[in-house]
């Protein structure tokens, strides 16, 4: 059978791999495929909306550019090490996290992945559905009613579920189309708005008033950081298909470049938000960026806008939903295959979308919910990234599967399947980080007042996790068997194993 035929079969066949280590012969992806999956999942209206926040906060165009670039770069640096876990272990990041949290402690990663996926899937479908309805209303007179919006949401959800159930190859094919088509349509937008865009847009806050400028700037930076950080729990879902022999710099490079590429939708959102603020300020006053964008768009750009919304709905939805089904199948192996678990979680996410949008109007609350989730996910990623460095990239891939196989023991059993070093760094970092969250009118942590209204939640959770994890590993070294032959990096070498410990290690899991 030719390579072309193989690709066709793999595209139309439902993926059967769960979270068990993928054999080397079945590792079919490249770092460029990882680039397309990450960029495709973020090259959407949801990212444009994040790009509009600096204007909503009152920043000038150039201050907004600086905050977005800084946030994306910092978030990419945090995300990059985590991208290596998939190729090294051949499984998703929740399972890989068992090396640092214990094989039972990996549930933390699964829970975070579930929350992130549902939140970002909801935001992606909401933003795409609203934009598509508005564009079709202006283009063909589609009635702007709850019925038409519900039909659009349902259509998106059905197609996204089908793509996710078929699995990785189908998703990769969708994103191959989405990356280039959405990028071209955003580029066309330059010509649609070039005559009305003013790079000298001043905003309402400036460095002349630091008490108002810095909270707005830091808030915008943290929102931009949340985009790359949101991939932390899911990037292994795609990277696990990259061969373990792939040079690490190529995987890290693809991850960072994909995030830098998202500057295009970020800056599209920023530039068009500046135009809306100048020419249709009533929309920005109502925090309605999508409505304002449709109001300022020339008629000939309605079709490209509708296409961006349509393509973006697929990209965001598949990127968010696929990994959750994968992880759920590993937690309930007796009940669900990957495809069945994807269907169940997908139906729950769809119900959440409809109830939130039409029952309780929770769109704004879910945005806040997302910030809170990212604040909790950041220290988890810090533990994984530092753990990988301390272990010099050495893992017992088979021992990571103890929980999935319903066994006991192995290198990552620690204290009955829990590693309190990783948990001891993550729990206080997440809790204290939440205390510094400051989203006026929605969620203000009890410690937010200490920094004059500036939201430093991500910074606090990130730095605290790094300090706590390193300190705990220094004071309470992990067993020698979790490290490779060269021992740990930047940590004391653990005591040599006793003969009894060596015998136990040699016989773990029946090896």
Task: Give the CATH number, domain containing residue 172.
Answer: 1.10.4160.10
Render pLDDT for 348-382 as a digit per residue (tens, 0 to 9): 878 877 877 776 655 566 667 777 888 999 999 99
* Average pLDDT for 58-62: 96
Is the entire prediction scored with pTM above 0.95? no
The pLDDT-based confidence of 203 (bands split at 50, 70, 90) is: very high
User: What pLDDT is stored for residue 500 in this prediction?
Assistant: 57
Backbone angles phi, psi at 202, to 5 degrees: -95, -20
Q: How confident is the model at residue 17 (pLDDT cuts 50, 70, 90)?
A: low
The more confidently predicted of residues 6 and 303 is 303
Within a domain: 477: no
Q: What integer is the mean pLDDT of 28-38? A: 91
DSSP 243-268: -TTS-HHHHHHHHHHHHHHTHHHHHH
Name the percent of the chain lying above pLDDT 70.
87
> Nearest CA to 58 among 220, 267, 196, 208?
220
Which helix (DSSP H) or strand (DSSP E) does residue 462 occupy?
helix 457-475
Which residues on neighbouring strands pair with residue 414, listed in sequence order?
Answer: 418
Q: Which structural domain, as residue segments, surrounds residue 173? A: 20-382+398-414
447 within domain boundaries:
no
Contact 1, 283 (CB under 8 A): no
What are the pLDDT digits (tens) for 452-503? 777 889 889 999 999 999 999 999 999 988 998 889 999 988 766 555 555 5
Give me the pLDDT at residue 86, please: 95
Place of tokens 């304002």: 292
Provide the pLDDT confidence category of residue 168 given band limits of 50, 70 and 90: low
Query: To the nearest 10°, the Cα dihedral for 450, 452, 457, 462?
Result: -80
Count of domains for the chain: 1
Residues 23-47, mean pLDDT to the nearest whole number: 88
Mean of pLDDT values over 200-221: 89
* Torsion sign across C-alpha atoms 221, 223, 228, 233: positive
Is residue 61 included in any domain, yes or no?
Answer: yes
Q: Is residue 466 part of a domain?
A: no
How much is the pLDDT for 360? 61
Is the residue at 427 inside a domain?
no
Write phi, then psi, for 478 (nearest 5 degrees): -75, 160
* N-terminal to C-terminal alpha carbon distance within the chain: 37
In a domain, 472, yes or no: no
Alpha-carbon distance 237 to 254, whole Å?
15
In a domain, residue 314? The reply is yes
Q: Could you tell me the CA-to-CA distances from 236 to 21, 82, 432 in Å, in that order?
A: 12, 8, 27
The answer to whether 196 touches 275, Cβ cutoff 8 Å, is yes
Place of tokens 């905050």: 67
Beta bridge partners of 444: 438
- Quote the distance between the C-alpha of residue 27 and its chain's center: 22
Per-residue model confidence as pLDDT tens digits over 112-132: 888 877 777 777 777 778 778
Residue 6 lies in a domain: no
């Amino acid at each position: 059978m030719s390579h072309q035929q193989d690709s066709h079969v793999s595209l139309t066949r439902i993926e059967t791999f769960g979270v068990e280590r993928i054999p080397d012969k079945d590792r079919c992806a490249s770092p460029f495929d990882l680039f397309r999956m990450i960029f495709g999942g973020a090259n959407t209206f949801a990212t444009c909306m994040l790009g509009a926040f600096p204007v909503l906060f009152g920043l000038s165009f150039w201050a907004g550019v600086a905050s977005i670039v800084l946030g994306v770069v910092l978030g990419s640096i945090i995300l990059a090490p985590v991208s290596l876990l998939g190729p090294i272990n051949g499984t998703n990041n929740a399972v890989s996290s068992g090396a640092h949290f214990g094989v039972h402690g990996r549930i933390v990663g699964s829970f975070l992945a579930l929350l992130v996926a549902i939140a970002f899937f909801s935001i992606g479908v909401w933003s795409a559905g609203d934009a598509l309805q508005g564009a079709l209303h202006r283009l063909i007179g589609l009635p702007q009613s709850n019925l038409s919006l519900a039909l659009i949401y349902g259509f998106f959800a059905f197609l996204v579920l089908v793509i996710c159930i078929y699995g990785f190859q189908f998703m990769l094919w969708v994103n191959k189309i989405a990356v280039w088509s959405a990028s071209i349509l955003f580029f066309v937008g330059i010509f649609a708005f070039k005559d009305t865009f003013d790079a000298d847009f001043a905003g309402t806050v400036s460095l002349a008033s630091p008490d108002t400028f810095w909270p707005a700037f830091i808030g915008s930076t943290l929102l931009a950081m949340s985009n790359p950080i949101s991939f932390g729990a899911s990037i292994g879902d795609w990277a696990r298909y990259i061969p373990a022999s792939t040079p690490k710099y190529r995987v890290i490079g693809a991850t960072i470049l994909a995030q830098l590429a998202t500057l295009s939708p970020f800056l599209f959102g920023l530039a068009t938000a500046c135009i809306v603020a100048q020419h249709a300020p009533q929309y920005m006053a109502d925090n309605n960026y999508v409505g304002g964008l449709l109001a300022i768009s020339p008629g000939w750009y309605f079709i490209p806008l509708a296409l961006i919304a349509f393509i973006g709905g697929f990209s965001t939805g598949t990127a968010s939903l696929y990994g959750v089904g994968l992880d759920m199948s590993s937690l309930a192996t007796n009940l669900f295959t990957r495809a069945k678990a994807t269907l169940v979680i997908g139906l729950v996410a769809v119900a959440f979308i409809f109830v939130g949008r039409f029952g309780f109007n929770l769109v704004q609350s879910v945005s806040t919910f997302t910030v809170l989730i990212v604040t909790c996910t950041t220290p988890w990623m810090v533990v994984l990234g530092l753990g990988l460095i301390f272990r010099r990239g050495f893992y017992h891939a088979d021992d990571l599967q103890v929980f999935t196989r319903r066994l006991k023991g192995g290198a990552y059993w620690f204290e009955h399947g829990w590693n309190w070093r990783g948990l001891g760094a993550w729990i206080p970092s997440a809790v204290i980080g939440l205390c510094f969250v400051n989203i006026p009118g929605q969620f203000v942590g009890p410690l937010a007042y200490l920094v004059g209204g500036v939201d430093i939640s991500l910074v606090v959770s990130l730095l605290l996790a790094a300090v706590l994890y390193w300190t705990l590993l220094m004071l309470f070294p992990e067993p020698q068997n979790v490290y490779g032959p060269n021992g740990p990096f930047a940590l004391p070498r653990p005591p040599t194993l006793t003969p009894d410990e060596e015998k136990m290690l040699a016989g773990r899991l029946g090896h």
